[in-house]
Amino acid sequence: MKSRTIYMGLLVMVLATASAAYLSVSMSRAASPADVIEAFYKAYFQHIASTPDRAHAPALPFSRAFQAAITDNHQQCAAYDGVCGFGASGDVYLNAQDHDPGLSYEAAGTQVQQIAPDLVQASFELFPSLKQAHQLRRTVAFRMLQENGHWVVDDIVYDGQYSARQQMQEENASLQAEAQQQAQ
């Protein structure tokens, strides 16, 4: 009887987990680009407030093309000794190297807006505990597209002008020119 109860309990857990996973996938397929970014920042701020470990931080899903551009950029930077590559000089989601230790979604005054069908803008204060925090407000925009029924990030634009794709292309071109100069 005891093993039957354990078996039934395990079966209920498996079914509940499978249902939750199914609902999560279904919701992400139906979610708007703004919903994806808002849910991400809530999870991301919660993570960075609870641990300094960025290796296991939530990450946004990138399009295959954007991920390929990041991989190419990192490969080209592999031989370079300095700061090089997407995300090498700071947090790509905060557009910063530092932030308030107690930063949270609410404290940062996070605002997420869908400003075009494929463009979502997030803005937040990096140091809400400072009296002049409004001077440290960051704006990060995400160009989104659908792949396999899911909204994914295809580019990130910082402060309304700096495209991550464009920055990587310029960095790659600079590295290639430097390599050609050294080969001569």
Give the pLDDT confidence of 44-91 residue by residue, as tens digits.
Answer: 999 988 877 777 889 999 999 999 999 999 998 888 888 888 888 788
Instruction: Round the average pLDDT of the chain to a whole number and report it.
Output: 81
| Largest interatomic CA distance in the chain | 80
pLDDT of 10 reads 34
Answer whether residue 95 shows pLDDT above 80: yes
Fold of 32-183: Nuclear Transport Factor 2; Chain: A, (3.10.450)
Which of 156, 142, 146 has its CA nearest to residue 29?
146
pLDDT confidence band for 26 (50 / 70 / 90): very low
Sort 118 into a burial class: Cβ within 10 Å, 0-12 / 13-18 / 19+.
Answer: middle
